[in-house]
Copies of this chain bind each other. A is one copy, B any other.
Amino acid sequence: MAASRNRAAVTAEEPNRRADIVRAAGRLFHEKGYSATTIRDIAGAVDMQSGSPFYHFKSKHDMLRAVVLEGMSAINKAVAKAANSGKSPRATFEAMLRAHLDQLLGSEGRDFAATLLHESRHLDPEALAEVVVFKDRYETMWQQALKDLKRAGLIADDSKVTRLLLMGALNWTVQWYRPDGSKSIEQIARQLAGFVIGKPQRP
């Protein structure tokens, strides 16, 4: 073949093009929404021609699936680690808040997490079922944390609605948080903890 390229030589420093596509797709799905994002948008963002992403993914839907999977995996891992840290109920809860907000608002994870939250409805039933399984497991983790807080006498109500209202306060931060704003992720987590638990002791 004329003009063959040396494929084997670049293995080590070869950038992961598939991961590039997932990142670009995540950013665009977050910014514009899944339906308003075109394959050409994604391809352009990683300097490819419009047909080339299909070398890595068999469909646009599969790109969404990859983004959502990444979001689920990252947030579950981060929050589970905090949940199992063995600290006091209060410290554990605060660590979970921080972990969740880090994924939601931090530069590494926010596009994946936001796409998970807002674009999952465009998944097909099979992929959606995976999201539902994740959600159930994730919510159980939080419910347990609330239960521990109640047992420790730190909150009065650990009902499901309490958890839902809490998740709302958490997840809505995506709509207003700005990295260059006056509040850090840490500060927001602390304020929310005080909100739920009641006045934090001021030493």
Contact = CB atoms under 8 A, between A and B. Distances in A.
A123 to B, nearest CB: 13
This chain: copies in complex: 2
Interface in A30-85: 32-36
Interface in A161-184: 161-162, 164-173, 175-176, 183
Interface string A146-171: 00000000001100011011111111
A35 B15 CA distance: 33
A161 B122 CA distance: 32
B171 A172 contact: yes
Interface residues of A, number: 31
A159 to B, nearest CB: 8
Contacts of A161: 183, 188, 191
A164 B168 contact: no
Interface of A: 32-36, 118, 121-122, 156-157, 161-162, 164-173, 175-176, 183, 188, 191-192, 195, 198-199
